[in-house]
Amino acid sequence: MHTQPLIPSVIGAKISPVICPTADQFGLLTGHAGLVATEFSYGKDAEIYGEDEPAEYVYQVIQGAVRTYKLLSDGRRQIGAFHLPNDVFGLESGTNHRLAAEAIVDTTVRLVKRRNLEQAAGTDVKVAQKLWTMTAGDLRHAEDHMLLLGRKSAMERVANFLLEMDRRLAVTGMMALPMCRRDIGDYLGLTLETVSRALSQLHSEGVLGFSGARQIVLRNRQRLRNMDA
């Protein structure tokens, strides 16, 4: 563990002050409150914050992707969520981060001081409502993920993941996954080999097609929905 600096940074991080736009939920929140955000760029696999570090900032992905995870006592890694462009992360109920956050690929985030957001929420009901909406969304995802890990088979988990990424990433019918298969396995509670076998089976059955290492086309979404039901 290392001490959180006054402003989070990594070697080579590019820093520039920006005003959040109003084209997204985070931008509407900070823009309405008149808060100034800061923009940072992180290289692939760079840590954004560590587990148990002070939760001094709230973050939004501008480009790239972020994974939040916890290292278990036996050394295994459990990924709690993947955060993609426009996603907000780092909202905590306590004073410290429960999970660590890393850039999956070269990633740019914007951040605002949590203290400033909380002060704005204390005097502005619209800010408080938006914060609650984002927090409730995080809780809903955590509950869904818990059910996924506890109740679904390996193939059902992979089908669920593909449908989730299809909703969040697909452009012109194709999704370019920023995460590797090991990341997918650590998110789904599966081994790398199990994820690879499931994807290969779905490919051989014509449910999906590959175009490059991480580009996937879903050819039979209904079949995936039936698996995930």
Task: Decide if pLDDT at 19 tops 60.
Answer: no
Nearest to 44 by CA among 85, 104, 98: 104
User: Residue 126 has which token pair?
Assistant: 């619209």
3-state secondary structure of 92: coil
* Gap between the Cα atoms of 61 and 146, Å rounded: 24
pLDDT tens, position by position, 124-155? 788 788 888 888 888 888 888 888 888 899 99
Domain boundaries, the chain: 14-145, 152-228
**CATH number for the domain formed by residue range(s) 14-145:** 2.60.120.10
pLDDT of res. 120: 82
The domain 152-228 is placed in CATH, from the list 1.10.287.130, 1.10.238.10, 1.10.10.10, 3.30.390.50, at 1.10.10.10
Evaluate whether 15 touches 39 at the Cβ level (below 8 Å).
yes
pLDDT tens, position by position, 42-54? 999 999 999 999 9
Task: Decide if pLDDT at 160 tops 80.
Answer: yes
pLDDT tens, position by position, 79-88? 999 999 989 9
Amino acid present at 43: G
pTM beyond cutoff 0.85: no
Evaluate whether 56 touches 113 at the Cβ level (below 8 Å).
yes
Averaged confidence pLDDT in the chain = 84
The residue among 172 and 72 whose pLDDT is bigger is: 72
**Burial track 153-167 (b if 16+ CB lie within 10 A, e otherwise):** ebbbbbbbbbbbbbe
